[in-house]
Amino acid sequence: MPPMAKFVISEPAEAILASLTEALDLVSFGIVLLSQDMRVRFVNRRYAEMWQRPFDMLVAGTSFRALLRHAAAESLYEMPASELPAYLEQRAAAIQAGAIPPTDIDLRDGRRLLFRCIPCADGGRILTYVDITRLKEVEELQQQDRSAAERLIVEQRFSTETLESQAAYLASLAESADENARRAEEAKQQLEQEIAERRQLEAQLRHMATTDGLTGALNHAQFLLAGQLELERMRQQDQPLALLMLDIDHFKLINDQYGHLTGDEALKHFVVQLRTGMRAIDLLGRLGGEEFAIVLPAIPGEAARQVAERLRARVAATPLLLDGQTIGITVSIGLAMARDADGMLEQMLARADARLYAAKNSGRNRVVSIDMAAAAQPLACVG
């Protein structure tokens, strides 16, 4: 565990503790502090909302096993009732031991939570629960998009192979007689033209299945697929990898003031500005609406931050000029670097998204590359 931050105490301890408690109640993820004997020392309101339990019932001294039993009694877990006792016992024992990797928890209402257990120096535990339901939905959409693209490609390949077989047959007939050869040649040329058109259509379908039709950036599913492959490639080569989450500031105001057609032009203009500051190996994807992401392979943290700042500055300095109007655009950016524990690109996306949210909350038109709440975690260990 990193050394604890030092503070100059200028307020009563009760006031500081009240301020910390209020701050922890405002974060977007659930937090539980356990004592050495696995009893509750503190929970925040987000945890109570996630697990559908009245906040005033979560009193200090409640055992962690009681929290698990409540979730089981409310049928919150997505698993057969016969498997719950063994699952809860295994989870309680693992947290007691302190050695448990980040784990996904699927709930019956369709939510998915990312669970982490952090051992404290005093023998207690910090438990965090982050709602990653959106990532679960992205995985399902990715699979649907991939299946649809594969079906289109197979159908086009079958049609192409059929036409090629017919062309070969007609070519053989051309050798039997001059007249037949002339007719076969005409038919062969027509079929070859159809084959070329089919292949062109196949290429267009493949492009449509992998890119965003408005901006030309990779679509959501293809970006996740390509980004995951890049993450695995960088890990094999022992190279760093960075991920940027970008969101156009006040984009709704552009749509409301100038109309959605101007909003579309703003998105295309925005992507053009991003591409001017990217390398050929970088991946740009549109995740939805005005939200984009960039994967930067083989780049250290400081260089990645400089790239993000350069992109932010270029967007701010290059307004959209349309029909005599000058429309200023700015962007907020969250930056995350790959960690050894990152098995999936979605884990990096979650961190970058949290930092993008921090950039929005701290004034927009800026880059955030660290967790704004990271300094509060060591304090939680001391209760």
Lowest mean pLDDT among 41-50, 169-178, 201-210, 373-382: 373-382
CB 280 within 8 A of CB 288: no
CB 366 within 8 A of CB 341: no
237 pLDDT more than 50: yes
Token readout for 325 is: 């109007």
pLDDT tier at 376, thresholds 50, 70, 90: very low
Token readout for 260 is: 């959605």
In 3-state terms the chain splits into helix, strand, coil percentages (rounded to 5) of 55, 20, 30
Count of other CB atoms within 10 angstroms of residue 100:
18
The fold adopted by the segment(s) 220-368 is Alpha-Beta Plaits (3.30.70)
- Distance separating alpha carbons of residues 239 and 297, to the nearest angstrom: 8
pLDDT tier at 9, thresholds 50, 70, 90: low
- Distance separating alpha carbons of residues 259 and 323, to the nearest angstrom: 13
**What's the pLDDT at 74?**
80
21 pLDDT more than 90: no
Q: Tell me which residue of 335, 328, 260 sits closest to 300, measured CA to CA.
A: 335
**CATH superfamily name and code, 13-131:** PAS domain (3.30.450.20)
Provide the 3-class DSSP secondary structure of residue 97.
Answer: helix
Token readout for 153 is: 């490609």
Which residue in the list 74, 290, 291, 302 is annotated as catalytic? 290
For the chain, the domains span 13-131, 136-210, 220-368
As a residue count, the chain comes to 383
User: 45 or 201, which is more confident?
Assistant: 45
Tracing tokens 């991946």 back to the chain, one arrives at 283
- Distance separating alpha carbons of residues 373 and 368, to the nearest angstrom: 12
pLDDT tier at 151, thresholds 50, 70, 90: confident
- Distance separating alpha carbons of residues 51 and 71, to the nearest angstrom: 7
Provide the 3-class DSSP secondary structure of residue 265.
Answer: helix
Active site residue 175: no
**What's the pLDDT at 87?**
86
Tracing tokens 């890990």 back to the chain, one arrives at 235
pLDDT tier at 174, thresholds 50, 70, 90: low
What's this model's pTM, rounded to 2 decimal places? Answer: 0.49
Domains 13-131 and 220-368 alike in fold: no
- Distance separating alpha carbons of residues 216 and 339, to the nearest angstrom: 30
